[in-house]
Amino acid sequence: MAKTPFRDRLAQGPILADGAMGTMLHLQENLPIDTCFDLLNLTDPAVVADIHRRYIEAGAEIIETNTFSANVYKLADCNMQDECAEVNRAGVELARRVVDSTFRDNVYIAGSVGPLGVRLAPFGRTTPEEAFNAFKIQTGALIKAGVDVLLFETFTDLHEIEEAIKAARSVDPGIPIIAQMTFTRDDRTILGDTPAQVARALRATGADVIGVNCSGGPAQLLRIVQLMHRAEPDARLSVVPNAGWPESAGGRVMYPATPDYFGDYALAFTNAGACMVGGCCGTTPEHIRAMRAAFDDPARVHPTLITIPDVVENGISETPEQPTQLARKLAAGQFIVTVEMPPPRSYTAQKIIASAELLREAGVDFINVSDSPMSRMRMSPWAVCHLIQDNVGLETVLHFPTRGRNLLRVQGDLLAAHALKVRNLFVVMGDPTRIGDYPDSFDTHDIVPTSLIKLIKHNLNTGIDQAGNSIGQSTSFVAGCALNPNARELDREVKLLRKKIDNGADFALTQPLFDPAILERFTAAYIAEYGALDLPILVGILPLFGSRHAAFLHNEVPGIDIPDAIRQRIDAAGDDAPQEGVLIARDLLLAIKDVAQGVYLMPAFGRYDLAAGVVDVLERTSAR
């Protein structure tokens, strides 16, 4: 029986592709992940054939040739660049023999073509002509060997995939083509293109199917394919996700997403407009079998899709940023625990990273990184935020003072922070330089915190700068403000908070409080003036370290009032004062849970172990 032409098959309903080849070779044959897998077509064809066969038996209708990296640039790493055509020919013939041996007349052979592994100009030194010639060698060999379709996958540069498709069309204008790009965690390509931009560009190449592969797990790719479908509603789309984000275990690369999870998402992908689904890195025949079962079960309940919100475009198509963890917790009304950490006074960050790991293990949700506290020179705080997020996996809140910055620097620094994925901000005035080690330093400012919150939320978060110029894509900052519930002029503080809320503040951090009644008094004053206070408030808690510490805070720091009973407890504790401070802070935390949405711990003298001891009380009470 003759095989249905590939384009006709696409029109008949969803088609299921296979899963990972490299993952299977890595796991099954215990081959290092940096092995030149494409050469196995010549040196060990049986192991490749077995994987093809297992995917067909699992229900795949598309089998990808083991030629993803079989281009002259990548083969040069193995000194096999002159064998490029032979490696690709062998990959096709091997796949065809497996398909023929299974007596399946509905399995298509897709010639897998990946990126060259070099950067194209203007971001690299490889010219478009050189890329075109390299792709022409590979695609020419695949077409000559008789593939049913060419599959361009895991590309990050639109210009590169355009050259690849152009090269293939120069060999055979009628060859069916699937073109897929991969995205980073922020739903953009490495070069910053959004799903909408990618969809439009790939559609313009004339590819039969356009889509996304690799990237993250099914949840992310479902979101991306919805955005691509919105941009090109008439396009045929493919979705080929990884089995989640990879992890290293015992010298192997492991992926967490289970086959059943993929089965659930198979129908979600087709509901979102995909006509082709499959698996990328970390997927196995079991994942494909689960997806096949989902397609073949008429009683399977189709999942409800999460609607992607409309996007305001400022001349450039953009993807809405995913909310930060802080934004999600604030919106859900969850109780939040964050701890303040000052940056180090040198360029080494090992101690602060170790301290952040301690706090993460204790159950802290976020780390607040202060900026030049007491006007003393320290490492850039957004660099510290980036290091903590990358090395510890704990989201941070960047303290962003307006003092000492003009409007140009303010906005440039904010864009730099956003590029480093630091998107939670605490906007403050900052400490005056006269109290620090550089009293003669520049100490003026162009903008006050209240106005900066407005600039962030009403300008940058809508894609324009303060002058009204487009910044290309909207930022996704969460902006917090300062609150002093114990201010001498309570009415003034109430009015100031109202202005911050009107300007877009997402949450407030208070100065250290030692009596929850102070916040209750402030809240009552606000309600009397403006009605309900619906801004999430995180109450400052500062574990006292000793008698002198308590006396200094009480007598010399504006806004801090420590009740006599608490100071007496610290005085009576003597050498055990730090532990007594932890007990006091625990009592405050439990009392605050009923009147605020979180706490903001400020451990003194870098004693993060004491902060961890305060947080422990939450775990104990939740376990009861």
Question: Which CATH architecture is the domain 6-296 placed in?
Answer: Alpha-Beta Barrel (3.20)
Tell me the β-bridge partners of 397.
Answer: 368
Give phi and psi for 481, each to the nearest 5: -130, 165
| pLDDT tens column, 142-187 | 999 999 999 999 999 999 999 999 999 999 999 999 999 999 887 8
Q: How many CA atoms lie within 13 A of 229 on its CB side?
A: 19
Check whether 521 has a pLDDT greater than 50: yes
What is the distance between the alpha carbons of residues 67 and 79, in angstroms, rounded to a whole number? 16
Closest CA to 371 of 318, 302, 319, 449: 449
Residue recorded with tokens 């809508």: 462
Other Cβ atoms closer than 10 A to 211:
31
Per-residue pLDDT, averaged over 119-144, amounts to 94
Q: Is the pLDDT of residue 431 over 70?
A: no
Written as one letter, the residue type at 584 is I
Residue whose C-alpha is closest to residue 391's, from 341, 344, 349, 422: 349
Predicted local confidence at residue 249, as pLDDT: 46
Lowest average pLDDT, out of 97-111, 146-160, 294-308, 480-494, goes to 294-308
**485 Cβ neighbours under 8 A, 6+ residues apart:** 493, 510, 511, 513, 518, 519, 521, 522
Nearest Cα residue to 473 out of 491, 484, 482, 461: 461
Helix, strand, or coil (residue 469): coil
The CA angle 200-202-207, to the nearest 5 degrees, is 130
Q: Which of 242, 236, 238, 305 lies closest to 277, judged by CA?
A: 238
Q: Which amino acid is at 63?
A: I
Of residues 322 and 129, the one with the higher pLDDT is 129
Question: Closest Cα partner for 162 from 193, 125, 187?
Answer: 193
Q: pLDDT tens digits for 360-386?
A: 999 999 999 988 655 566 788 888 999
The DSSP bridge pattern shows strands 424-428 and 598-601 to be unpaired
Q: What is the CA radius of gyration of the chain?
A: 29
Closest residue by Cα to residue 48 from 62, 34, 29, 32: 29
As annotated, the residues of the chain forming the CATH 3.20.20.220 domain(s) are: 325-622
**Residue 314 — pLDDT band, cuts 50, 70, 90?**
very low
What is the distance, to the nearest Å, from the Cα of residue 23 to the centroid of all Cα atoms in its chain? 23
DSSP alpha helix (H) spans, 541-606: 547-556, 564-573, 577-592
Phi/psi of residue 510, nearest 5 degrees = -95, 165
Which pLDDT value is given to residue 426? 95
Does position 565 have pLDDT exceeding 90, yes or no? yes
325-622 fold: TIM Barrel (3.20.20)
Residue 8 half-sphere exposure toward CB, CA atoms < 13 A:
5
Residue 524's Cβ-count burial label (10 Å; 0-12, 13-18, 19+) is: exposed
Query: Residue with structure tokens 């003026």?
Result: 444
Picking from 568, 458, 588, the residue whose alpha carbon sits closest to that of residue 518 is 588
pLDDT at 150: 98
Half-sphere exposure of 410 (CA within 13 A, CB side): 28
CB burial class (10 A; 0-12, 13-18, 19+) of residue 556? Answer: exposed
E strand residue ranges, 228-292 = 237-241, 247-249, 252-254, 274-277
* pLDDT reported for residue 277: 97
298 preceded by cis ω (within 30°)? no
Q: Residue 312 above 90 pLDDT? A: no
- Locate CATH 3.20.20.330 in the chain: 6-296
For residues 10 and 348, the model is more confident at 10
Query: Are 338 and 365 in contact, with CB atoms under 8 Å apart?
Result: yes
Classify burial at 361, counting beta carbons within 10 Å of its beta carbon; exposed 0-12, middle 13-18, buried 19 or more: exposed
Give the whole-number percent of the chain exceeding pLDDT 70. Answer: 89
3 state DSSP class of 578: helix
Residue 177: per-residue pLDDT: 98
Distance CA 26, CA 29 (A): 6
Strands 396-401 and 366-369: parallel
Question: Which pLDDT belongs to residue 443?
Answer: 56
- Does residue 509 register a pLDDT over 60? yes
* Distance of alpha carbon 170 from alpha carbon 140, whole angstroms: 9
Mean pLDDT check: name the lowest of 305-319, 426-440, 498-512: 305-319
Give the residue with greater pLDDT, 195 vs 122.
195
Task: Scan for tokens 């079991």, then name that residue.
Answer: 286
Q: Which of 124-128, 389-393, 443-447 has the lowest mean pLDDT?
A: 443-447
Of the chain, the end-to-end C-alpha distance in Å amounts to: 67
